[in-house]
Structure 1
């Protein structure tokens, strides 16, 4: 009887809501829907403006350009879900890339060993960020702002500011730039690796206790701690796993660029945060999905790629992305006000 009464009350409450309120509830439960709608609109608009946009070859190029940012955005999503932020993401990736490339090209080290050392270094860099946040109790923004400068300087000092071309490195480090074609549609192994990262991490954060703890810590760290969640250990794990993913992104970048350069992807930090925010993950923590992040990364690259095909100046592309970020945060604020 109580259950029936409760269901009737919930149904009555739902009917009393305006269409806008119902939309607010839907987006609160599925934050990836609004960026998906935006992505579809962008695809249609660019196809109308330039019919070559939706060709198989163009879509292959778009996916290749999205791969590195999409990988970085996975680690950034984990951190933002805990109400943190990582400004050192690009610096960690570049440092890892230069170390693995230099060890293989100049140190004569086997490609697999160089790769493992580079990924381990990135993992350690992420763990260092996590240690400073959880043990020294410093704000994530300040910690990663500082390590951004530190890791960037180390990468420049270590490499001497010089690039290492693909022909000086073993095939393994360049492997993710190779690929296969399906007609005119070309995929690289890097895209396959990014897809695997999303599948694995999507399962982890949605189907495991660790993933539920990540959301709990981001939603309310103190309440999570009082409920028995080891908040500091979870946070340290999040930053460490993020570092591991940045190391894999470094491997992706070598294959994508065909070289290792200390000046690669200077706006990686901005792009990864933009992808996460546009994808519906709340900057206040506790809400978001990896599917939303993937859609967000595609939106960022779709606008850049489509506007480039239209011959629009780069300044206008930055303006478009900036507007998207502000709109995405405004929508997030509106969704957070949803009433049960």
Structure 2
């Protein structure tokens, strides 16, 4: 009798974790903050915590779009490369005297066009997203170097730097406009996924595309719309990047695609599609930022930081696979 009750309790806990995938990364975030606060004298300082959040903005925004793509069982290896090209276009146009808004709009339009290109190949020709985005990543990396001509492009336009503007809450908590915009974006995507028919279609396509099609959902249209919205977020990530560092550099964010995937998977979104939340992604992005910042303050070599991040990604995928098998059994 006692064994049966214990088994039932364990199953209830497992079901709870499957229904609330953001709980795990939230706990991991708390543990990481506590550990680094005890290991260093500066980590828990308000200015440092604000810096950590600012450092997570670009990856967090990339991860927001990546979440949508992974929810439909896709993947985008080109998101960071697309963002970098957008920063270079914005910077080059602004340096040539183009109005800052026009330069910003041009960069965002580019990332949306890339999303349409990827979504079109995925829906019309039925190519695997991995292959499409791997090829797109390679092309965009070359394009960024051709545009830059081997040099970083400084940004002086006020609008392009605007998201990095710092203000203080309650007299002492430093925040930037970029933080506010990222929060609004997360809230907007959360609402779209949980409160609209489009969001239900995204989850349905990720769970079982054929069943979704038979139930009347326009699968191709949903997939294409996801890549378009994701492209929009990558364009805003480019704006975030210029606000954080007013310098468009083709060599920046070389691991941004992998960091965004890590944040999404750490946040509890299944690589097999159909399960996950933007809240979990936000927690995952913060975990990645906290890990890198804490290890840096402990003077840990960058190579070991990449090693730790990769290990976290593998562990998260293993947990996701186990959870998926339990859900199917």
Q: Does residue 136 of the first structure (1) align with residue 125 of the second (2)?
A: yes
Count how many residue pairs are aligned between Structure 1 and Structure 2.
324
Of the two, which has the highest radius of gyration?
A: 1
Tell me which residue corresponds to 1:88. 78
Q: Does residue 321 of the first structure (1) align with residue 309 of the second (2)?
A: yes
Tell me which residue corresponds to 1:177. 164
Q: Does residue 148 of the first structure (1) align with residue 128 of the second (2)?
A: no
Distance 1:103 1:42 in 2: 41
Tell me which residue corresponds to 1:311. 299
Distance 1:323 1:18 in 2: 32
| Aligned-pair Cα RMSD in Å | 1.4
Distance 2:220 2:323 in 1: 28
Q: Does residue 165 of the first structure (1) align with residue 142 of the second (2)?
A: no
Q: Does residue 72 of the first structure (1) align with residue 59 of the second (2)?
A: no
Q: TM-score, normalised to structure 1's length?
A: 0.92
Deviation, structure 1 residue 15:
4.4
Deviation, structure 1 residue 18:
4.3
Distance 1:236 1:328 in 2: 28
| Higher mean displacement: 152-161 or 293-302 | 152-161
| Higher mean displacement: 176-185 or 277-286 | 176-185
Tell me which residue corresponds to 2:19. 29
Distance 1:19 1:99 in 2: 56
| Partners of 1:25 and 1:338 within 8 A in 2 | no
Q: Does residue 336 of the first structure (1) align with residue 300 of the second (2)?
A: no
Tell me which residue corresponds to 1:8. none
Deviation, structure 1 residue 184:
4.3
Q: Does residue 115 of the first structure (1) align with residue 115 of the second (2)?
A: no
| Partners of 1:59 and 1:185 within 8 A in 2 | no
Distance 2:66 2:222 in 1: 15
Deviation, structure 1 residue 48:
1.3
Tell me which residue corresponds to 1:275. 263
| Partners of 2:265 and 2:271 within 8 A in 1 | yes
| Partners of 1:25 and 1:335 within 8 A in 2 | no
Distance 1:35 1:47 in 2: 18
Distance 2:139 2:28 in 1: 37
SS at match of 1:180: strand
| Higher mean displacement: 241-250 or 329-338 | 329-338
Distance 1:216 1:53 in 2: 42
Distance 1:315 1:146 in 2: 26
| Partners of 2:95 and 2:155 within 8 A in 1 | no
Q: Does residue 265 of the first structure (1) align with residue 253 of the second (2)?
A: yes
SS at match of 1:338: helix
| Partners of 1:123 and 1:247 within 8 A in 2 | yes
Aligned with residue 284 of structure 1, among 267, 272, 282: 272
Aligned with residue 211 of structure 1, among 199, 209, 232: 199
| Higher mean displacement: 72-81 or 115-124 | 115-124
Gaps of 5+ in 1: 1-13
Q: TM-score, normalised to structure 2's length?
A: 0.95
